[in-house]
Amino acid sequence: MTTRAVVKGVGHYLPERVVPNAEFEKTLDTSDEWIRTRSGIERRHFAADDQTTSDLASLAANAALKDANLEADDIDAVVVATSTPDLTFPSVATMVQQKIGMTRGFGFDVQAVCAGFVYALTNANALILSGQANRVLVIGAETFSRIMDWTDRATCVLFGDGAGALILEAQDGTGDNADRGVLSADLNSDGRYKDMLFVDGGVSTTGDSGKLRMQGNALFRQAVEKLTSTAHTALTKVGFTDDDVDWIVPHQANIRIIQGTAKKLGVPMDRVIVTVQDHGNTSAASIPLALSTGVAEGRIKRGDLLVTEAIGGGLAWGAVVIRW
């Protein structure tokens, strides 16, 4: 028998405040049409002033626990992907432990910006395959509204806040591609592209959190190429082709990137989970938000073959193949 990290439950949380594109027209030289045309985004959610990333993460975690019919102390480890932690330390993961009432196990954060959830999922899979944990709560959570430059119309209209979570559980498989669970992963990074997407602050430089900066056109060109390549690599590792894929669940950065990647993969858009219109770019939270939405809407079903892929600052990018 082969051990597999199988999805046991999934959930998400979105802050109550919904911000439509029209709200930006009051302070910026922009319009709803301009934002929709260039990004596909229609609205996004912003956290309340008193809400932190760990708050959003904990609410998503509780939703995933309920979906899996598990209690907090059934979990062995918490892995949180975020670039917007509550504090420099301790980790968001340990704060989630406290907030959901988890009194055992361990937790840590992963920082790979928009690719964070793919990295966290790969780490969680490794924890299970190595025998270090039996059940892992994997969360992507962000409050990107806290690092926006509200005078930069090219970036501040793109991002939103939210959290998504899933629970991986060790289960026996046969070792072939019919198994449920994480089947393969591909991770990459290249620090030469740092200036395409970064935050201009930090503890050892400015002493404050800084603001997000992005070279949108250059990043777009890198994104489509690298997302297509990593998805192909992850599929090839386990002998799959594009035709075998039931759903692509991409990082929800920009509808043009999503469409461009799907076209290069040869997968029609009716097999792509798209939530960018409702959530904007929620960085590490975007893939688990899309997964949870796809399940809630009855599109993603048990046994479906999924490819998740993402790219973010670093640049860091990767893909995971999962049978749901």
| Active site members | 114, 251, 281
16's tokens = 């109550």
Going by C-alpha positions, the residue among 227, 186, 228, 184 that lies closest to residue 322 is 184
CA distance 221 to 197: 13
96's tokens = 């989630």
CA distance 323 to 180: 5
Query: What stretches of the chain show up as alpha helix (H) in DSSP?
Result: 32-39, 53-68, 92-100, 116-129, 216-237, 255-265, 276-279, 286-296
Query: What stretches of 157-215 show up as alpha helix (H) in DSSP?
Result: none
Catalogue the long-range contacts made by 94-102 (C-beta closer than 8 Å, 24 or more residues apart): 95/54, 95/57, 95/58, 96/54, 96/57, 96/58, 96/61, 96/137, 96/139, 97/72, 99/54, 99/55, 99/58, 100/58, 100/61, 100/62, 100/65, 100/72, 101/72, 101/73, 102/72, 102/73, 102/75, 102/78
CA distance 111 to 247: 26
Going by C-alpha positions, the residue among 45, 113, 54, 46 that lies closest to residue 85 is 54
Helix, coil or strand: residue 238: coil
Helix, coil or strand: residue 83: coil
Alpha carbon of residue 252 to chain centroid: 8
The single-letter DSSP state of residue 115 is: G
